């Protein structure tokens, strides 16, 4: 028996006649919560890098730009390049949807490097960039979770057809039960991943090894994403990449896992074996 759900309007409310969508609110909430969490993390006594108020504001600006530009370009390049070649102005139509986590991650990496290069921190640009990325590894799952909830409200990137009792049918839509895959991703890539990263940051000294937490985030996210892709319907314009069911999300995540493992290995190799404490 499928779960019957009354659709929620993708528009949360109108402000002076301008529709404000849940998707936009999810991004705004992610940035705001992330900002205050970052402020807390860099104020802790065990913080590996300190930021003053101006630096926090500048870093938030850099991250917002990195997420939006990287996420959008990632979607354009990885998921629908032929369409955007024919309709280049659609690249800027963010309200139509279409963001890529993997592209957003690249945007955040670039933003961290450029931000660190513009500051006068003690230590090398590479080490401090990795420290900033480690902080983002704790914060990023919040935005991921909120974004997936917004995907579900928009009834987009829904799952594959199923006869499972978890199948969802939206009133007024196709009467075919599908996995609520955005909610699966919100749980694993959002809540569970945040708990894992928070505990690793607060209960271990992995934060003293620049890049370790960032590498772990990439690996754990990749595993969760590959798993969730088994329930998620592939993008219509791409479909399955192989006859045995490989999706673009799984392919990109496999590469991300390898990169994360290499970063983690390098981070651990540079520290004494007995330096990890709980």
Q: Supply φ then ψ for residue 169, to 5 degrees.
A: -125, 125
Which position has the token pair 């987009």?
156
pLDDT, position 173:
81
Domain boundaries, the chain: 3-8+21-275
SS3 at position 21: strand
In this predicted model, what pLDDT tens digit does every residue of 220-278 receive, in sequence order?
999 999 999 999 998 878 888 888 889 999 999 999 999 999 999 999 987 554 444 44
Q: Please state the rounded mean pLDDT for residues 6-29.
A: 89
Nearest to 194 by CA among 131, 136, 277, 254: 136
Distance CA 208, CA 204 (A): 9
pLDDT, position 274:
43
Q: Are 193 and 139 in contact (CB under 8 A)?
A: no
In this predicted model, what pLDDT tens digit does every residue of 160-208 receive, in sequence order?
999 999 999 988 888 899 999 999 999 999 999 999 999 999 999 999 9
Q: Which two tokens stand for residue 151?
A: 């995907």
The pLDDT > 70 percentage for the chain reads 96
pLDDT, position 201:
96
């Amino acid at each position: 028996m499928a779960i019957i759900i009354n659709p929620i309007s993708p528009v949360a409310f109108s402000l002076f006649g301008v529709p404000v969508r849940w998707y936009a609110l999810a991004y705004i909430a992610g940035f705001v919560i992330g900002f205050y969490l970052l402020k807390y993390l860099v104020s802790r006594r065990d913080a590996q890098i300190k930021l003053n108020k101006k630096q926090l504001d500048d870093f938030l600006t850099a991250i917002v730009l990195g997420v939006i530009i990287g996420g959008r370009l990632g979607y354009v390049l990885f998921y629908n390049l032929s369409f955007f070649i024919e309709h280049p102005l659609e690249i800027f139509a963010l309200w139509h949807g279409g963001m890529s986590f993997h592209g957003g991650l690249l945007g955040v990496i670039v933003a961290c490097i450029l931000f660190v290069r513009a500051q006068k921190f003690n230590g090398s640009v590479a080490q401090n960039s990795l420290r900033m990325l480690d902080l983002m590894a704790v914060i990023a799952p919040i935005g991921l979770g909120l974004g997936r909830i917004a995907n579900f409200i928009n009834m987009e990137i829904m799952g594959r057809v199923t006869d499972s009792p978890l199948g969802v049918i939206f009133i007024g839509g196709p009467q075919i039960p599908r996995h609520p895959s955005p909610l699966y991703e919100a749980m694993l890539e959002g809540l569970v991943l945040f708990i894992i990263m928070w505990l690793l940051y607060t209960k271990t000294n992995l934060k003293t090894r620049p890049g370790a937490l960032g590498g772990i985030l990439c690996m754990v996210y990749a595993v969760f994403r590959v798993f969730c892709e088994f329930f998620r319907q592939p993008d219509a314009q791409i479909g399955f990449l192989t006859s045995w069911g490989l999706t673009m999300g799984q392919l990109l995540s496999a590469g991300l896992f390898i990169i994360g493992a290499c970063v983690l290995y390098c981070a651990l190799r540079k520290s004494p074996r007995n330096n990890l404490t709980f």
